[in-house]
Amino acid sequence: MPLVIDDDPYLWLEDVTDEAALAWVTERNAETEAVLAADGAFAALKERLREALDASDRIPYVTRRGAFLYNFWRDAGHARGVWRRTTLEQYRKDAPDWEILLDVDALAAAEGEKWVWDGAEVRHPDHDRALVRLSRDGADAVVVREFDLVTRSFVEDGFQVGEAKTRIGWTDADTVLVGTDFGPGSLTDAGYPRTVRRWRRGTPLEEATLVFEAEAGDVSAWGRRDTTPGYEREFVGRALDFFRGELYLLTSDATLVRIDVPEDALAYAHREYLIVTLKSDWLGHRAGSLLAFGFDAFLAGDRTAEVLFAPDGRTALAGHSWTRHHLLLETMRDVSTRIEVLTPAPAGAWARTGLTDVPALSAVSVVDTTPDLSDEYFLDVSGFLQPSTLYRGRIGADTEILKQAPAHFDAAGLTVEQFFATSRDGTRVPYFVVGPDRGPGRPGPALLYGYGGFEVSLTPFYGAVKGRAWLERGGTYVIANIRGGGEYGPEWHQAALGADRPRAFEDFAAVAADLVTRGITTPDRLGAVGGSNGGLLMGAMLTRCPELFGAIVAQVPLLDMLRFHKLLAGASWTAEYGNPDVEADRPHLRDISPYHRLSADRAYPPVLLMTSTRDDRVHPGHARKTAARLRELGHEVLLYENTGGGHAGAGDNEQAAHNNALLHTFLWRHLAPSD
């Protein structure tokens, strides 16, 4: 049996900024750099990756706000990026004339802060002010500042909120709804806002009026105003856990009217409709369905729904977006996506037509729409070997190609295939294989990626970094669509919740074994990589079936499943994994906890653990402690902790290129030593 740690000797490494802990991290980083960055090919690889990340011919994706198309852009001359905008007429050009709104590099230099852009909310319908969010070195916590889009400057004495995991949104020109850190008792146990307050311009933040309050044990509270002309309404709600919540209409006299949908459903109002996405069966409708109700009729007790989508065994809902008169429905069939146009009907079934043809084993996604203005839409179509094409259209009219990205790696001789592996319980698990033709007797280095949690779906995408760092060198890249994800809807996710989490691990292991059976690779040439919840998956592979892999990389990983709920945002994930403070959950959490399964008497493949000191979502202590434990037990392990970057692991393209060069140098060294 694996040795279990009950008296953890490495708790001191959970103190993120402790001097001794940081000194230990510095030593580990130096070891990793000495082993990997000293490799003769490292510098050249990093330069190639940085070139791809900074490429000026990437598509600058945009969001329409009024007459302008907004974009945030990083390149070699703008490491931290610029927020900018242009017109559609200019955007159609190869070299648009961009109006720079905010230069984050200049701001960081002027203020002596490592600012990282976190987005902005432009006020509707005037589009003259914005609430800009800036993160210190990539953390989830942000500062908020009001920005004048006419003068292109921050508003002196405007809305400003100090560093916190703030939620804020406009209600009118002089009022916002805000949830932030107001001091003791104002945050949930997970560290998110517990209250929603109405804050009026010119008044102190601490005097903002309370309009809604969640419980300390909830994940968060939130509030927003729908500013659609003729349908102006305010809503508040609370997230009971990661998957359950309550939604309320906040009336003009401050009365709360509960929107009576299941706690695990996603619901919102759009004009005259209430739109509900089901995660469990309800009113005779299957989990995974998308329903439309008349909003006023629903409040009056009418539960007659128009079924906009119903799942089957192979097809799931991927998303949906509104234009002014239509709804764009995104679905997946065996993880390949398509889009339909649904048109509301005053009575009876909504009309539906296909929007565009998509090549096999590719992906199409809605980039942006303008539901308050027109039937305009922007679509992105791409695939593993197919660079993105950005389309613009209006429903009922022709589409135009706005931008086409060039190829950023050599795809000659590469193919894309989809296979299905059989998991331990007989479930068919799809996976994509990208790489050279590996005929019988010609296995090669392969890299298997997975996530398997929180209903996140992994669909085809074009990755220049993966192409240059892995595919061009002769490697095969594999994505496993294991349970815990959303590829087949809520049931696919729920099959690996809590005590059933090992099903996700078994699915991933089944894909690994199937790759070997098909002759694509061999165990000593097969690597595995995953981040965050995928880092937990990597820990499971290391401790449960190490014989399947030649090397493993876990990025910003979750590894200590008996203390995750006490570290940063971990308390918000108990609905996914279970609660270590609940006696009934502790046995299975101990069983799936990689940190507690580590043993000296089992052979493990080489491991690289990567994290960030500024990750305030998944605590860097997970990676630190696991590295320390593996070292103690005599196993081969490297740790690299970036000082910034937050949960993304990198705050700019230089950091991203460095991290990816370390990762792929590590993998290539162990999986293709003679190639």
Q: What's the CA gap between 467 and 452, in Å, rounded?
A: 23
The pLDDT of residue 4 is 57
- Whether residue 223 is predicted with pLDDT greater than 80 in this model: the reply is yes
Residues 6+ apart with CB under 8 A from 478: 431, 432, 433, 434, 446, 447, 448, 449, 511, 515, 520
Question: Mind listing the pLDDT tens digit for each residue in 194-215?
Answer: 999 999 999 999 999 999 999 9
Mean pLDDT of 581-591: 97
Per the model's pLDDT, the better-predicted residue between 362 and 409 turns out to be: 409
Q: What is the pLDDT of residues 511-528, one digit of tens each?
A: 999 999 999 999 999 999
Q: Is residue 649 within 8 Å of 611, Cβ to Cβ? A: yes
Query: Which range has the worst mean pLDDT, 136-150, 348-362, 442-456?
Result: 348-362
CB 447 within 8 A of CB 419: no
Residue 361, pLDDT score: 84
Catalytic pick from 135, 388, 532, 572?
532
Other Cβ atoms less than 10 A from the Cβ of 673: the count is 11
Phi, psi of 339, deg, nearest 5: -130, 135
Q: What does DSSP assign to residue 93?
A: S
The one catalytic residue in 647, 658, 664, 670 is 647
Model confidence at 100: pLDDT above 50: yes
Who contacts 601 (Cβ-Cβ below 8 Å, separation ≥6)?
none
Mind listing the pLDDT tens digit for each residue in 568-578? Answer: 999 999 999 99
| Per-residue pLDDT band at 356 (split at 50, 70, 90) | confident
Looking at residue 441, what is its pLDDT? 79
- Report d(CA 432, CA 385) in Å as an integer: 12
pTM of the model: 0.95
* Half-sphere exposure of residue 505: CA atoms within 13 angstroms, side-chain side: 23
Q: How far is CA 665 from CA 40, 407, 486, 661, in A?
A: 10, 23, 31, 6
647 is catalytic: yes
Q: What CA–CA distance (Å, rounded) separates 663 from 640? A: 10
What pLDDT shows up at residue 5? 63
Residue 532 falls in the annotated catalytic set: yes
Q: Report the share of the chain in percent with pLDDT over 90.
A: 93
Q: In which band, very low, low, confident or very high, does the pLDDT at 437 lie, cut at 50, 70 and 90? A: confident
Contacts 24+ apart (CB under 8 A), 626-630: 626/539, 626/557, 626/559, 626/560, 626/594, 626/595, 626/598, 627/28, 628/10, 628/13, 628/24, 629/5, 629/10, 629/595, 629/598, 630/598, 630/604
Please enumerate in sequence order all residues whose Cβ is within 8 A of that of 49, keeping only pairs 6 or more positions apart, or say none: 465, 468, 469, 656, 657, 660, 661
pLDDT in tens, 361-379: 888 999 999 999 999 999 9
Alpha helices by DSSP H, 33-60: 42-54
Domain ranges of the chain: 58-163, 312-407, 412-671
Give the tens place of pLDDT for each residue, 253-282.
999 999 999 999 999 999 999 999 999 999
User: Which residues does residue 24 pair with via DSSP β-bridges, in sequence order?
Assistant: none
| 3 state DSSP class of 46 | helix
Work out the pLDDT band at 675, boundaries 50, 70, 90: low
Q: What is the pLDDT of residue 2?
A: 42
Residue 657: burial class (beta carbons within 10 Å; 0-12, 13-18, 19+) = buried
What span, in angstroms and rounded, lies between the C-alpha atoms of 575 and 582?
12
Tell me the pLDDT tens digit for each residue of 7-66.
899 999 999 999 999 999 999 999 999 999 987 789 999 999 999 999 999 999 999 999
Beta bridge partners of 609: 554, 639
Q: For residue 125, is the peptide bond before it cis, meaning its omega torsion is within 30 degrees of 0?
A: yes
In the three-class reduction of DSSP (H, G, I as helix; E, B as strand; rest coil), residue 329 is classed as: strand
Print burial letters for 28-50: b (CB count within 10 Å at least 16), e (below 16).
bbeebeeebeebeebeebbebbb
pLDDT, tens digit, for every residue of 312-343?
A: 989 999 999 999 999 999 999 999 999 999 99
Lowest mean pLDDT among 129-138, 231-240, 647-656: 647-656
Count of beta carbons in the 10 Å neighbourhood of residue 157: 8
280-314 tens-digit pLDDT: 999 999 999 999 999 999 999 999 999 999 999 89
pLDDT band at 544 (very low <50, low <70, confident <90, very high): very high
Q: Are strands 551-555 and 526-531 parallel, antiparallel or unpaired?
A: parallel
What CA–CA distance (Å, rounded) separates 115 from 80? 7
Contact 358, 338 (CB under 8 A): yes
Report pLDDT digits (tens) over 485-511. Answer: 999 999 999 999 999 999 999 999 999
Which CATH number describes the domain made up of 412-671?
A: 3.40.50.1820
Answer whether residue 1 shows pLDDT above 80.
no
CA nearest to 467, candidates 414, 542, 520, 534: 414
State the distance between the two ends of the chain, measured CA to CA, in whole angstroms. Answer: 38
The answer, yes or no, to whether residue 534 has pLDDT greater than 60, is yes
